[in-house]
Structures are given as C-alpha cells and as structure tokens.
Amino acid sequence: MKKIRTRFAPSPTGYMHIGNLRTALFEYLIAKHEDGDFLLRIEDTDQGRKVEGAVDIIYDTLANVGLQHDEGPDIGGDYGPYIQSERLGMYKEYADQLVELGGAHYCFCSEEEVEKQRKECELINKPFKYDDPCKHISLKEARERIKNGEKYVVRQTIAHEGATYFDDEVYGRIEVDNDILDESVLLKSDGFPTYNFANIIDDHTMGITHVVRGNEYLSSTPKYNLIYKAYGWEIPTYVHVPPVMKDEHHKLSKRNGDASFQDLVAKGYLPQAILNYIALLGWAPNSEQEIYTLEELIRVFDIKRISKSPAIFDINKLTWMNGMYLRAMPLAKFHQLALPYYEATIHRDVDLFAVSKILQQRVEILTQIPEMVDFIDELPEYDNVMYIHKKMKTTYEIALQALEASASALEALENWKDEESVHETLLALPAQLNMKNGQVLWPVRTAISGKQFTPGGAIELAHILGKEETLRRIAIGMEKLRKECSDQAA
C-alpha cells in the first residue's frame, strides 16, 4: 500500500485562521491514522499579501497544538524546497512542458482585452469565461513572439466538449461539463505561478496522496484533474471539507473580526482545547465522547465521518470544553498558567497556591481570573442589597447578627493559618445562632469579597485574606448594615 502523504500549505498572510488550523488538523490526522507523513509547505507566490513574521506564526501555531510536521522549510526533507518562491524555475519548466503536451497555451492578450470580454459578459448577465483567441496560435508562432520579447502568460487549454468527473471522499462523485470551465492563467507574466498551478506541481513532485481543502474548490477541481491527465500523473485522493461558519449565513472570517487561533489563546483558551474543539467542527466520532487527546484523535479519525454540512463555531461550547481541560489538569500546572494573571492583579501578600485551589474548578478561560480575584487586593464598593438572599431568607438584621457573631468568634481564633480551624469556627455559629449555614456564611462572604459571585466560599476566602484583613472587612460590613437597619427603623 502506498504511504499516505498530506500537506498543510498556508500562505504567510497573518494570524492562523480557525478554518486553516482545522484543515491542518484533518491533514495531520489522515496521515498519522495510517502512519503516513505530514508536510508543511509555505505558499508565498502572492508576494503582495505576504506579511512579515507570518511564517513564524505558522511554525509557532503548529508547535503549540502539537501538529509536528515530518518535512518542511525549517526541518528539510527529500522533496524541498518547501517554500514556493524558492521553486520558481521549476514552475516555468512544467508550464512549458504542459504547452508541449497540449494542456496549455501561450497567451499574449492584454489586460484590456480580458477586461473587455468581462464587461461584455456583465452586460448580458452571463458568467465570465475568457474566450482566448491565442489558443488558436501555432506553437511555432507563439515561440517566435516570445523570442521577440512579447509579454505573455501561460493559460490552460480546455476542450469544451464532454464532462470531467472525480470522486471526493466527502461529497462523492462530482461531474462538471467542460464547456463551463474557464481557461485560467497558470503562469503569470512575471514568471510566478498562480496558486492553483503551483499546488498541482508541488503536490505531484512532493508525492502528496491526499489533498484536503475547502469545498469552495469542488467546482475547480476538474480543471486540476485535466492538468494531471495531460501530464499523465496519478490524481490524488480529494477530501473537500465544509466551511466553518460564524452563523447559518456567514463564514468565520478574520476580516469580519472573528477570532484567529492567536486571538483565542490571548483570550485565555488553551491550544489543546482549541484543537480538540475544531476537530469536532465538521467531523463526528463514532461515540458520544467529546474530550480527546491528539493521540486519541489519531486513533479514531475516519474520513468517512466528515460532514457535508457547514459547521458553526460555537464560542460557548469551546468555553465549556476549555473549562473541562483546566479542571482536568494537575493543580500545579493550573497554578503556573494562572500566575501571570495573579501577578497582574494581586499585590497583597497571600497564598497564591491556595487561590489556585479554589479557582481551578470554577474558571473556564484564563482571562476570567483577574475579575474573579480582584477583590483580594481591595474590597470593592458594593450595594447592601447583596446581603439579602431570598432563598436563604436573609434580612439585614440577620446578616448583621451573623457578622457580629463571626467577628467575635474569628477574633478569638489563634490558629488562622489552618483552614480547618477557620472552617470549624464559622460552621459552629449557625447552631449557636439558631440559623441555617447560609444565613451566616452568605453575609460573611459578601462582607469580605464585596461580590455576588466569588471563586470560593466564606471559609476559603477568609483563610486566604488572613485574620487582620478579614476582620477589617467584616467591620466595614457591620457598619454598613447598622446604618441600613437604622435607616429602615427611622
């Protein structure tokens, strides 16, 4: 059996889009499921769109998610160069050979002539397909004109009778009438190949067996196959995948402000969680399992389970999945990830590892951390109505009674560094006061955090803040409640 070889061939035009990363993942999984090779090729023939530093972004992204390529510009291989702009001479040779084989011709038409036909088609509301008069020029005459210095391009030659078909792994058999196929430019006048022609040459010369790309290429794939046939080359296996959508009507697009991989990481999402989530965009495993390691994905991935339907990117689902990853990791690893956020937010001398203990099971994305712990540095302003908890039947009077009893009990507590002591002290109060646990702990938590939602309960927060700061904040709470009760009585 022929060894499977796939390639990820991004253009260095900026950040890694989610759709591009999913394509890379599918290519990687197809290869590795059969112990094949996964190649990285940089397609930079469109020099005008090249962005400085974008190649490094590609390397960093693949490394961050664990998609290790077997060959590429940075590690070499037997089929290099792996950067298209370093292969220019080869494209010219293949283009000339294709002309010899009758699959292409030299075109000397000006941009004005092409544009004239385009406008004529627009006037009669007809899809534009260039009818090139140059395909009727003999090869001898064309070569003479080239020798005389005339500017030219190499354009594909298509016999317009009959039809061309191919079998796609996702969409099945696709058949297109040849008379609707446009004779596109393959080699531009500056010697650079067009994207499509360079892909064909590179895929063949690099031994690529499976081509994975977006389903927008379904209609043009017959043109690629005509070129393969003209050369007498084996046609690769095609895997066209549905788009990743923002909603039912709009594609996910960086131009529309949608998040790239780098944006999501900056927002606090883990690379492994992102990769896990996008694996499920347009592909379904043969089970209810949703959380996968990369090794597990390699084992279970099946091309036949790629959907024909577009996949909608659900940030809420990704957020849930990211939370699952954070909760599943060792506490020490979570603590290391959280430290930069603590250092930017917490300047009080507290046990940060204890903060991680209460935070890990509650945070879903890392950038939630500052807002969840900002009360540690300074007690925020808060409304007294936060002391009222209807379910616990907490009133201002009950809250004040709870705080007064808590302040007295905690003041007498000597072994504050032992969280169990704080726990026993506060949980002994409800029975003494003839109250429910929540009627005591809710006011204490409100007083020491000033927040309605906190990463931990009253006991955990008091232990982290320390005796002096906890009592200071409870005193502020008692003062606020005494004034509230006085105002109500008046």
List pLDDT tens digits, range 199-208. Answer: 999 999 999 9
> What is the tens place of the pLDDT at every residue in 303-358?
999 999 999 999 999 999 999 999 999 999 999 999 999 999 999 999 999 999 99
Q: What mean pLDDT comes out for the span 263-287?
A: 95
Please give the angle made by the CA atoms of 358, 362 and 368, to the nearest 5 degrees.
105
* Number of Cβ within a 10 Å radius of residue 190: 9
Name the nearest CA neighbour of 438 among 393, 490, 386.
Answer: 393
Average pLDDT rounded to a whole number, residues 231-256: 87
- Cα separation, 281 vs 277, whole angstroms: 7
**Residue 172 pLDDT:** 95
Q: Is the pLDDT of residue 291 over 70?
A: yes
Report pLDDT digits (tens) over 148-199. 999 999 999 998 888 888 999 999 999 989 888 999 999 999 888 998 899 9
Q: b or e along 89-116 (b: 16 or more beta carbons within 10 Å of the residue's beta carbon)?
A: ebbeebbbebbeeebbbbbbbeeeeeee
Residue 114 has a pLDDT of 83
- Model confidence band, residue 490 (pLDDT cutoffs 50, 70, 90): low
Strand partners, 237: 210
pLDDT classification of 123: cutoffs 50, 70, 90: confident
pLDDT at 145: 95
Q: Please answer whether residues 200 and 224 qualify as being in contact, where contact means their C-beta atoms are separated by less than 8 angstroms.
A: yes
Burial 320-355 (b: 16+ CB within 10 A, else e): ebbbebbeebeeeebbebbeebbeebbeeebebeeb
58, 346, 417 from 69: Cα distances, Å: 11, 41, 51
Residue with tokens 């009507």: 249
pLDDT at residue 416 greater than cutoff 90? no
Q: What is the predicted pLDDT for the residue at 322?
A: 98
Q: Exposed, middle or buried, 426 (CB in 10 Å: 0-12/13-18/19+)?
A: buried
Domains of the chain: 331-489 (1.10.10.350)
Residue 47 has pLDDT above 80, yes or no: no
Is the pLDDT reported for residue 398 higher than 80? yes
- Can you tell me the distance from the alpha carbon of 223 to that of 163, in angstroms, rounded to the nearest whole number? 11
Which of 271, 239, 317 shows the shortest CA–CA distance to 18? Answer: 271
Q: Which amino acid is at 206?
A: M
Residue 297 pLDDT > 70: yes
For residues 283 and 271, give the distance between their C-alpha atoms in angstroms, rounded to a whole number. Answer: 19
Q: Which of 254, 267, 317, 436 is catalytic?
A: 254
C-beta of residue 183 within 8 angstroms of C-beta of residue 132: yes
pLDDT at residue 489, rounded to an integer: 76
The pTM assigned to this predicted structure is: 0.90
Mean pLDDT of 265-293: 95
Q: How far is CA 428 from the centre of its chain?
A: 50
Q: Is 129 a catalytic residue?
A: no
Whether 55 has a pLDDT exceeding 80, the answer reads yes
In 3D, which of 26, 6, 28 has the Cα closest to residue 203? 6
Residue 238 pLDDT > 80, yes or no? yes
* 255 pLDDT above the threshold of 70: no
Instruction: Provide, rounded to the nearest whole percent, the portion of the chain with pLDDT above 90.
Output: 77
In angstroms, how far is CA 315 from the centroid of its own chain? Answer: 10
Torsion of CA 473, 475, 480, 482, to 10 degrees: 160
Tell me the average pLDDT across 462-487: 94
In the block, residue with structure tokens 């004040």: 400
